[in-house]
Chains A and B, each alone.
Chain A
Amino acid sequence: MPQSTLGELAHLRRLPSALPYVTRRAVWLTVYLLFVLAPVLALLMGDLPPARDFWTEFSAAIAYVGLAMMGLQFGLTARFRYVTEPWGEDVIYHFHRLLSLVALALVIAHPIILFILDPTRVRLLNFFVAPPVARWASLSTYALIALVVTSLWRVQLRIRYETWHFTHILLALVAIAAGVIHMIGWGFYLGDPGKRALWIGLLIFWMGLLLYVRVFKPLFILRRPYVVTEVRKERGDSWTLVMQPQRHRGFRFTPGQFGWLTIWGGPFKITGHPFSFSSSAERADGHVEMTIRNLGDLTSTIHEVPVGRRVYIDGPYGAFTIGNPADMHVLIAGGVGITPMMSMIRTLADRGDKRPVILIYGSKDWESITFREELEALQGHLDLRVVHVLSDSPADWNGEKGFINAEIMMRHLPPPYRDHEYFICGPNRMMDAIEEALGEIHVPLSKYHSERYSFV
């Protein structure tokens, strides 16, 4: 959580840590490296097998490191709030995605180095004639390659998101289990019972992470259902789901955070969908709202959700929250990126916050501006100024046209720009352009917050 003023702290029940983000990031990075490297360095302890040449040992070390990194991938996506909070979910998922490439490179480099040292080993790639210990290695590598290929080119391969998610978990399990079996079967380092027990323990720990996400956490969520009390049509082909906790008190969130929503099916369903909360965080009765634009797949079925439907929310998550001491909040939203901003504006209005808020809001046209009327009404309750930017503007439109850029921001923001707190949410292209524009007007990284809604 960002540094908060005392007045704002009073509004928050959930205070995960008083430590600044930078310290918590350093701690988690150290923990991550320890979990990856300590099991490898532990192989140097106790009785050692005969020494080999540098490159053979190096190829073995990177294989162990690669496997440990693969196993910890389950931890990165386990949605541990205390881990993800200092980074933001989008950074964690991007980190997870890129780390799989590093792990793949390490795992593939392992046999390549061995083949260079002794080209006759290439025959081990032949699944039908290779000894079992090499088959496990091949299986692990092929599963990891398939996992990375289906993740990088899922859309091009026309794999449904739900199918991909299930396959993704299955391939990860095969890659990791086969890798550990190969290492134990090879028996060079893991011939030692203590070291073998350590790596089997690690495998159990990694599987435990998966079990936590897929079994224990859903069990907890199952006992805390929500019921849909209203399905409200909004401008811009969007719908607001109004939900109330059923037989529990719900949770408190900070404006800008999101939850994983399961509408059709129970919490054990493999694929949840992340949506920002759009309601005020000041509601004490656990009431939450999510505003969802029809972008295909699950989002096209929101209007069919019947009132009274039982749904499940895993949350709150996300570091995209207000709370820093700022002279002014600048909210920059594109399309459905307005939803977390709406939660911030409603919350600031409910708190009676006197600081100025400027919302620069990009939409296609005047009729598709989600929350248009409410934003107009809220300008009477809060020092709020809304700047609409229309990409498809009518001939008589006097406001801003096109897409949000540095010139538009400088026209509407009072200097010094670096003193304001910036929040950006919208399509990837818009986010890239705004982040570049903020760099041009010398706004430091610590003063702006962005969360991409297409991070999964």
Chain B
Amino acid sequence: MRRLFAERLVLATGVIVVLISAVFAYLRSAT
């Protein structure tokens, strides 16, 4: 369960950083 907890944490981190990267790209490409 603790490993699963770490895995979910990594998944959440991965999703957040990819989303923010997409926001970065959107803001830059729109300017």
Q: Which residues of B contact A95 (CB under 8 A)?
A: 6, 9-10
Whether the Cβ atoms of B17 and A69 lie closer than 8 Å is: yes
Instruction: Count A interface residues, CB 8 Å.
Output: 37
* Cα A343 to Cα B14 with chains together (Å): 38
Q: Which residues of A contact B25 (CB under 8 A)?
A: 54-55, 57-58, 60-61
Interface of B is mostly: helix
Chain B's closest residue to A434 (CB) is B1
Whether the Cβ atoms of B29 and A36 lie closer than 8 Å is: no
Whether the Cβ atoms of A102 and B21 lie closer than 8 Å is: no
The answer, among B1, B5, B18, B28, for a CB contact under 8 Å with A52, is: B28
Chain B stretch 1-29: residues in CB contact (< 8 A) with chain A: 1-3, 5-7, 9-10, 13-14, 16-18, 20-22, 24-29
Q: Which residues of B contact A445 (CB under 8 A)?
A: 1, 5
* Cα A43 to Cα B31 with chains together (Å): 14
* Cα A88 to Cα B3 with chains together (Å): 11
The answer, among B2, B7, B29, for a CB contact under 8 Å with A54, is: B29
Whether the Cβ atoms of A37 and B17 lie closer than 8 Å is: yes
The answer, among A41, A102, A439, for a CB contact under 8 Å with B24, is: A41
* Cα A61 to Cα B21 with chains together (Å): 5
> Whole-angstrom distance from the CB of B2 to the nearest CB of chain A?
5
The answer to whether residues A53 and B6 also contact, given A65-B21, A69-B17 and a CB cut-off of 8 A, is no
Whether the Cβ atoms of B2 and A91 lie closer than 8 Å is: yes
Chain A's closest residue to B3 (CB) is A94
> Whole-angstrom distance from the CB of B22 to the nearest CB of chain A?
6
Q: Which residues of A contact B18 (CB under 8 A)?
A: 62, 106
A interface list, Cβ under 8 A from B: 29, 32-33, 36-37, 40-41, 43-44, 48, 51-55, 57-58, 60-62, 65, 69, 88, 90-91, 94-95, 98-99, 102, 106, 435, 439, 445, 450-452
6 cross-chain pairs, A with B, having the tightest CB-CB distances, nearest first? A58-B25, A61-B21, A57-B25, A94-B6, A98-B10, A54-B29
B interface list, Cβ under 8 A from A: 1-3, 5-7, 9-10, 13-14, 16-18, 20-22, 24-31
